[in-house]
Amino acid sequence: MKYEVAQSIRLRKGLIAIDISKIFDQNRRTDARGPNPVPLRYPLYLWHRDKGRENLGKWIDAAAMRAGR
C-alpha cells in the first residue's frame, strides 16, 4: 500500500484515509485499527464515527478539490 500512496501523492491525486476497523464482518467481528499509511497532512475519517455511508461522496469531492481536480 505504501507504493499506491506514494504514487497518488506523486501524481497529485486526491488522497484520504478511511478507517473501517469498526465494521462488522460476516461473523460479527471487527478488526483492530492498524497504522495509517497516509501522511498526516491528509484527512483520516473513521467510517463508523464519521458516518461514512452518508459522507463518502463529500470526502471524495473534498479530496479532489484539495488536489486541484
pLDDT at 13: 87
Separation of alpha carbons 61 and 46, rounded Å: 17
pLDDT at 60: 94
Spatial neighbors of 48 by CB under 8 A, at least 6 apart, are: 22, 23
Read off the pLDDT of residues 19-59 as tens digits, 9 standing for 90 and up: 887 777 788 887 777 777 778 888 999 998 999 999 999 99
User: Of 13, 23, 2, nearest to 64 (Cα)?
Assistant: 13
Q: Which has more confidence, 8 or 51?
A: 51
pTM summary value? 0.74
For residues 59 and 16, the answer to whether their CB atoms sit within 8 Å is: yes
Residue length, the chain? 69
pLDDT at 37: 72
- Residue 1's pLDDT band, with cuts at 50, 70 and 90, is confident
